[in-house]
Structure 1
């Protein structure tokens, strides 16, 4: 089992640590690799897109030729999880800010995103979030978070705040507007691992 973390920019080490903890919790093992260039994605059984600066991430995965490999992985049913900026990259369409910055989107999910749905960094917050696959609230950390403004028929909404969709799933792709790697609660990472091990 091999899990790849897109390691061009963003919360890479935090995701690696969270994956290691989640694997240990379930008594499972997997190799976790950082993906910085073309050729690694096809060797992975699961992929994680960390938070970061979405415009930069999009530009770099395109430049490195990783974008086509990620799209192929999606078509092959490889589980993919995107968090914060990673959620933005999974989208098919974005708001005017996404369009203005010529944000590269992968179109892995039938969703439209608002890039800074909750405001700037100083408006970041934590909240006890009700997520459909969990039986108790999850302490979700939002930092300059996006939100999903439109979701197609095949998209399963997992969580919302004030009418804004902040977690969703479509086929083998998971998208979260918050940062599960910045909490000690491993349940979101466990849900992702369920897709690999079940």
Structure 2
């Protein structure tokens, strides 16, 4: 099993370390040529979503990755990665910039916790996993998930902290507002790898 990690900017090395500790291989996506390599799942790390989206466009990687996600490639997105996937960015005049994939039917608020709580820790339940430590760094949160996505069973709210949605799943996409790669608990990454394995032919 090979997991690709977007390595243009942000906290990608920590994801790679955790994935390898769980027995999977990693490759880094840094240029369009890398998208020709085989990989079974994708991680979109934290960082600066605006910068990442712009680089994806400039490097000619955006459309290929978006199509891969739409075609069912399992993806784990954390913090900025959640914003990259979101269909609507709260407060954005046009709803969702063209440098964001828009494949996840949620409305996300960026840098949502303000200066006082720009970085904090919590422990809360993630559906199907249990209570996990959560590290938030200038984190977004999900204002709402599309009602049709929820009603269809394809969308699921996975985690809530202080009455704010911080984890969701939609089909093949897992998105979290926090940084599971910064804590020693490996269960979120393991659950992602289990999903990838279930979709990967032997």
Q: CA deviation at 1:103?
A: 7.2
Structure richer in strand, relative to its length: 2
Question: Is 1:96 aligned to residue 75 of structure 2?
Answer: no
User: Where do 1:117-156 residues align within 5 Å?
Assistant: 117-120=112-115, 123-135=118-130, 137-152=131-146, 153-154=148-149, 155-156=155-156
User: Where do 1:1-198 residues align within 5 Å?
Assistant: 1-23=1-23, 30-42=24-36, 43-96=38-91, 104-120=99-115, 123-135=118-130, 137-152=131-146, 153-154=148-149, 155-198=155-198
Q: For residues 193 and 66 of structure 1, what CA distance do their matches in structure 2 show?
A: 23
Contact 1:93 1:105 in 2 (8 A): no
Contact 1:2 1:32 in 2 (8 A): yes
Contact 1:119 1:145 in 2 (8 A): no
Please list the CA deviations of residues 121-163 of structure 1 after superposition, one character each: whole Å capped at 9, or x if unmatched: 863111011111113x100000000001120132210011222
Q: CA deviation at 1:191?
A: 0.9
Q: For residues 173 and 121 of structure 1, what CA distance do their matches in structure 2 show?
A: 30
Structure 1 regions of 5+ residues with no counterpart?
A: 24-29
Count of residues paired in the alignment: 191
Q: Under a length normalisation based on structure 2, what TM-score does the superposition of the two structures give?
A: 0.88
Measured on the aligned residues, the alpha-carbon RMSD in Å equals 2.0
Please list the CA deviations of residues 99-132 of structure 1 after superposition, one character each: whole Å capped at 9, or x if unmatched: 6995721011101100011123863111011111
Q: 1:120 to 1:5 in 2, by over 3 A?
A: farther
Contact 2:19 2:25 in 1 (8 A): no
Structure 2 regions of 5+ residues with no counterpart?
A: 150-154
